[in-house]
Amino acid sequence: MSTKISNELKFHTLQFADDTVIVGEGNWDNLWSIKTVLRSFELVSGLKVNFFKSKLYGINLEDNFLSAASEFLHCGVDSIPFRFLGIPVGSNPRRKSTWQPVVDSMRKKLNGWKAPVCILKELESIQRKFLWGGGLDTKIYVGLDGTPFACRKIKVVWE
């Protein structure tokens, strides 16, 4: 979502539940606008923004500006890459090392989920039918050369 304060001031937000990322240019006008919007949110909703849990990230900004901005907003300063909802932001998405913590986290969560072998086989069968057949009811097989073909009776007529 993009919020336009004036012709010169604009910032973008990315929200999920109670997590919000605000992206904008690093200048004092934007900081004042962001602080005003967040304070207005507090007044209208009756909720409180926890600035002590909030972080400020800067790209190509001087350290003294980031330090002053964090004091102004009463939040900490952190560096990129960071994680938002468990996803790495600001790191190279093509590197395996970027995604390894996500894979490890998924393994750890799924480790506690044990299902009977018959259920696992049924789930695998559903996956196989969907991936190779395009649906759960369609039976399509793949030939040795990799081309899919439907399993049906063929009547051959010789002339």
Q: Please state the domain extents for the chain.
A: 2-79, 117-150
> CA 158, CA 87: separation in Å to the nearest integer?
61
Nearest Cα to 96, choosing from 84, 107, 88? 88
Res 68: pLDDT: 94
Reported as type and span, the H/E element at residue 150 is strand 148-150
Asked if the bond preceding 88 is cis, omega within 30° of 0, the reply is no
Q: What is the mean pLDDT of each run of 10 residues along the chain (159 residues)?
A: 58 72 84 89 92 85 91 88 79 86 87 85 86 62 59 51
Res 55: pLDDT: 86
Res 59: pLDDT: 83
pTM of the model as a whole:
0.52
Res 128: pLDDT: 82
Handedness of CA 33, 20, 59, 52 (dihedral sign): positive
